[in-house]
Every structure is written in C-alpha cells, then in structure tokens.
C-alpha cells in the first residue's frame, strides 16, 4: 500500500512539472511561452504614378488615358491622372507638377503642352527623387541639358515622318498648279514644329504646289475655324490644307460647310473618331493614327521600369498608321 501511494505521488509530481513547462503545443505547432508574437509582414506600398496631360477636351488624350489605365490594371500601380483645362494652359500644367511634387508621387509621365516652359519644374521634380517620363511632345533637349534634366526617356511617334505621309497623300493628287495652306499647332511645341516640317517637305516635292498661308491655330477647333475664315477670304483658290491635328481640321471643315466653300483636299493628324467619319464622308482625305492609347500605356510601363532601376532607352518610337477612305472600308 505504501508502495502504491509513492507511485501515485511520483506520477502527480511529474504531471505538475509537465504543466509548468514553458512550451505549448497547438495544432502540432510549438510556441515558446515567453516569446513575442511574430509580426505580420508589412504591406508593400503601391508605386503612385502621375499622368499629366494637356487637356481632356481633345479626344486624343482621352485615348491616352485609356492606355494608361490598362497599364494600371496590369501592374497594380496607383495612377493619378491630371490635365490642364486647355492645350494652351501651360501655367496650369506647371502648377500640376508642383502639386505632384508636394504629393510625393514616385513618377511623373508628362505630355507637355510646351517643350521649353515645363523643363524647370520637371527638373525640380527630378531633384525631389521623382522619375520623369516624357510622352507625345518632346521636351527641348538643349534646355534640358542646360538645366541638368537628364535620363528622361521619350515615347512618341516620328512626327515629321508621319506629317510628311499625311501631306504627301494629298500632294500626290495635284497634277497642275495649286495653292496650299498649313495650319500649325502651338509653335513652341516640338511636335508642332516637326509636323510643320513634314508637311513642308511633302509639299515641296510637288513643284505644282505653292504654299500661300502658314499660320498657327494652337491645336484648337474654334481658332482653326476663325483662321480658315480669314485665310480663305484672302486666298479663295486654296486647294490643299494640312492641319497639324484633327481638331484644327474639324474647324476647317466647319468653316467650309458653313460658308458653302468649294471642297479642298484636307489632311489631318490624330485619327480621332470624328476625323475618321469625315474621311469616310469625303470631307477629309487622310489622317494619321499615332496610337495615343499605346503612348499612354508605354509611358506608365516605362515609369515602372525606371522605378525598378532598369536601364531605359532614350527613345521609344510608336508606329503610325495612315488612315484613308480605302483603309476604313
């Protein structure tokens, strides 16, 4: 009997010792009682990228945003889309860049309204550690170099070549002496200069063509309509018109329709839906699809590559398509 009591006492002591052990086992996982709980992994911050465009009054930039949104969906970044009121609202674009600097975005993808005036504020953004990607309209290389804005990739089309193809399509149809006009974009914008040069080259190749008017309508439909009224009043025999974007071409069409002026061979640039409809209707001869959505998409993807520290090309060129009535059939 004494022996049994001793055995029971020993068993009880062993059981108490086991209960006082520092380790607990739950579902087969052993934890040390005096350890602190493991911290949950920190959530990785999404890169925030700002797309700064000229305006949303031009459907071209609506398409550009669609491409950027596609990149946002694919990559999971946080995309901020900012635009000025009009394509000529350069000061507003500068203010938007300042706002993005204060917001401490990781990258800015910029379609600048002006090739010169945006350079200083973009240098300020780059100095703040923000990656810069330039799309659509190239920043002035000399101004950027002078101020120290470096390593900014550029994504767009060959504007000079594309405008040449547009103007050449109508120039090739001229077999006898004819007058021509060129409606330019904002003259301080590089893409406007390149498109003007392309049109000049195409018209110069046909000795029958004489350019009698060359003015800026600042990319705007209303300014182009008013400019057309002035130009056709003084030069009623114009047979060819090249417009550096479709918005201005729409302004010319509006004037021709309202004034019941004789049709002209009209070339545009951007392949807006209204412009393609005008091509189908015979009101325009040609326009250029510069794939605005692809430019927006490539801009965001390039910004993401820059944030990952990947080496980037200085220029990424997007292909263009010549849009004529036959290509739309």
Which residues in the chain are classed under CATH 3.40.50.2300? 48-156+292-317, 159-289
Q: What is the pLDDT of residue 45?
A: 81
User: What are the tens digits of pLDDT across the range 113-148?
Assistant: 999 999 999 999 999 999 999 999 999 999 999 999
User: What are the tens digits of pLDDT across the range 95-119?
Assistant: 999 999 999 999 999 999 999 999 9
Q: What is the pLDDT of residue 42?
A: 54
In this structure, the number of other CB atoms found within 10 A of the CB of residue 293 comes to 18
| CB neighbour list of residue 262: distance below 8 Å, 6 or more residues apart | none
Closest CA to 182 of 170, 199, 168, 165: 199
- Taking 90 as the threshold, does the pLDDT of residue 8 lie above it? no
Beta strands 107-110 and 265-267 are unpaired
| Predicted confidence band of residue 10 (pLDDT cuts 50, 70, 90) | very low
- From residue 33, alpha-carbon distances to 5, 19, 30 in Å are 33, 12, 9
Q: What is the pLDDT of residue 294?
A: 97
Judged by DSSP in three states, 175 sits in coil
Rg (CA), the chain: 32
Q: Is the domain defined by 159-289 classed in CATH 3.30.110.30?
A: no
Average pLDDT, the chain: 90
Give the bridge partners for 288, in sequence order: 322
| Predicted confidence band of residue 14 (pLDDT cuts 50, 70, 90) | very low
User: What are the tens digits of pLDDT across the range 258-293?
Assistant: 999 999 999 999 999 999 999 999 999 999 999 999
In this structure, the number of other CB atoms found within 10 A of the CB of residue 240 comes to 26
Q: Is the domain defined by 48-156+292-317 classed in CATH 1.10.10.10?
A: no
Edge-to-edge strands, sheet with 238-243: 209-216, 178-184, 238-243, 265-267, 286-289, 321-324
What is the H or E stretch that residue 271 is in? none
User: What are the tens digits of pLDDT across the range 32-44?
Assistant: 344 444 444 556 6
């Amino acid at each position: 009997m004494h022996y049994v009591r001793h055995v029971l006492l020993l068993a009880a002591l062993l059981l108490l010792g086991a209960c006082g052990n520092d380790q607990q086992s739950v579902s087969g996982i052993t934890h040390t009682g005096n350890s602190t709980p493991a911290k949950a992994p920190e959530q990785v911050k999404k890169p925030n990228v700002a797309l700064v465009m000229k305006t949303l009054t031009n459907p071209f930039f609506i398409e550009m945003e669609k491409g950027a949104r596609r990149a946002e969906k694919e990559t999971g970044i946080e995309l901020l889309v900012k635009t000025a009121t009009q394509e000529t609202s350069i000061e507003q674009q500068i203010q938007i860049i300042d706002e993005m600097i204060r917001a401490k975005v990781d990258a800015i993808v910029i379609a600048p309204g002006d090739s010169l005036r945006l350079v200083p504020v973009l240098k300020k953004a780059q100095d703040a550690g923000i990656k810069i990607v330039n799309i659509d309209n190239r920043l002035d290389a000399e101004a950027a170099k002078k101020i120290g804005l470096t390593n900014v990739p550029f994504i767009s089309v060959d504007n000079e070549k594309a405008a040449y193809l547009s103007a050449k399509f109508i120039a090739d149809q001229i077999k006898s002496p004819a007058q021509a006009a060129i409606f330019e974009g904002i003259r301080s914008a590089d893409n406007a200069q390149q498109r003007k040069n392309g049109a000049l080259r195409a018209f110069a190749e046909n000795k029958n063509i004489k350019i009698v008017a060359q003015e800026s309508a600042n990319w705007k439909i209303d300014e182009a309509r008013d400019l057309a009224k002035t130009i056709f009043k003084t030069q009623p025999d114009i047979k060819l018109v090249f417009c550096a974007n479709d918005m201005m071409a729409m302004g010319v069409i509006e004037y021709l329709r309202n004034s019941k002026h004789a049709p002209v061979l009209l070339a545009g640039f951007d392949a807006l839906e209204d412009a393609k409809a005008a091509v189908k209707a015979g009101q325009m001869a040609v326009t250029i699809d510069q794939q605005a959505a692809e430019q927006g998409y490539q801009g965001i993807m390039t910004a993401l590559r820059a944030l990952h520290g990947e080496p980037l090309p200085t220029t990424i060129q997007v292909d263009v398509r010549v849009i004529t009535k036959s290509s739309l059939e």
